Amino acid sequence: MVKIHNFGAGPAKLPEEVYEIIKKELTNYENSGISLLETSHRSGTYLKLNTEIQAVVRRLLNVPDNYKILFLSGGGQGEFAAVPLNLISRTGTADYVVTGAWSAKAAKEAKKYGKVNVVTPHTERYEGIPDQSTWKLDPNASYVHICTNETIHGVPLVADMSSNFMSKKVDVSKFGVIYGGAQKNIGTSGVALVIVREDLLNHALPICPSILDWTVNVKADSILNTPPMFAVLQWIESKGGLEKMAELATKKSSLVYNIIEESNGFYYAPVAKNARSKMNIPFRIGSAKGDDALEKEFLKGAEALGLIQLKGHR
């Protein structure tokens, strides 16, 4: 059998060393005689782990003391609803920087709970970030939502970091809230990591479901309900933290971008160079718009070589 290389953007490949740890934890967690998956989230065993992983996140991202760290159910999209439900009551409006399909979805979800101002000019295809001089920010917005690591000043900045969480150092103090689904870089699907500044708590709309209410979840120390159990955070720390992760991401993505650049246009990367991701590398084959037949042949050939989940993101 050929060796399988998983290129899935998320759920993404886990490190081989993490498989080994999971294997042990799956059958006999810390010599308790039972699996972590069978362990009560109210038990001392889980409470210890809960405290430990919060501490790891605090160390890795250098999270200041006035921020709470939450592990919540519902993944990235759960937070698309939680962000407006917890914050939009501050002024009734929110700014959304729409630079791709995910931030467009986040804005659409927020419209259910208040007035949403899309600050970026409308584009048919998302192949770069519109220059900041074209953004129409509202100084009265409850918050500005972005899906990138760029920073803006003024009203609280809320960032969806689902696709590059823990891949490099960020200055947490520049953000009001950071959130992300875990399945790409830090764990398994279904869980969101949320880092929220304390002064942004206690603003939830009365209709906010408790499970999405950050204040309720802070009081419950992230175990209001039964949480998903696996994360790779300790592994990240053991490998040298986020500086090391950033170095690896640059190395890995350069390997692919270099092949694209050196292919004389055979492979084509549509995203502007200054907006390119080190996590997800969209590319077409044969031409800028892609050649269907060639792309099908490429995917078939790749799969035969064990290179799987390369098919483009919708």
Catalytic residue among 13, 135, 168, 184: 184
Q: How many Cα atoms sit within 13 Å of 144 on the Cβ side?
A: 23
Burial of 262 (0-12, 13-18, 19+ CB in 10 A): exposed
Nearer to ligand PMP, 35 or 149 (CB): 149
User: Residue 163 CB, nearest distance to ligand PMP (Å)?
Assistant: 4
Provide, rounded to whole angstroms, the least separation between the CB of residue 63 and ligand PMP: 20
Q: How far is the CB of 293 from ligand PMP (least distance, A)?
A: 28
Distance CA 15, CA 104 (A): 31
Q: Toward ligand PMP, which CB reaches closer, 10 or 176?
A: 10
**Do 186 and 175 contact (CB within 8 A), yes or no?**
no
In the complex, minimum distance from the CB of residue 202 to ligand PMP, in angstroms, rounded to a whole number = 25
Instruction: Name the active-site residue from 160, 213, 214, 278.
Output: 160
Question: What radius of gyration, in Å, describes the C-alpha atoms of the chain?
Answer: 21
Q: Choose between 29 and 80: whose C-beta lies nearer to ligand PMP.
A: 80
Comparison of 130 and 286: residue with beta carbon closer to ligand PMP: 130
Is 239 marked active-site?
no
Give the residues lining the site for ligand PMP (CB under 6 A). Answer: 10, 75-77, 102, 147, 160, 162-163, 181
Marked catalytic residue, from 102, 105, 135, 169: 102
Exposure b/e, 78-103, CB count within 10 A at least 16 = b: bbbbbbbbbbbbbbebbbbbbbbebb
Distance, C-alpha 194 to centroid of its chain:
10
Give yes or no: 102 in active site.
yes
Q: Determine contact, residues 270/290, Cβ cutoff 8 Å.
A: no
Q: Which among 108, 106, 183, 109 is positioned nearest to 145, based on CA atoms? A: 106
Active site (annotated) includes residue 24: no
Q: By C-beta, is 29 or 271 nearer to ligand PMP?
A: 271
Residues designated catalytic: 102, 160, 184
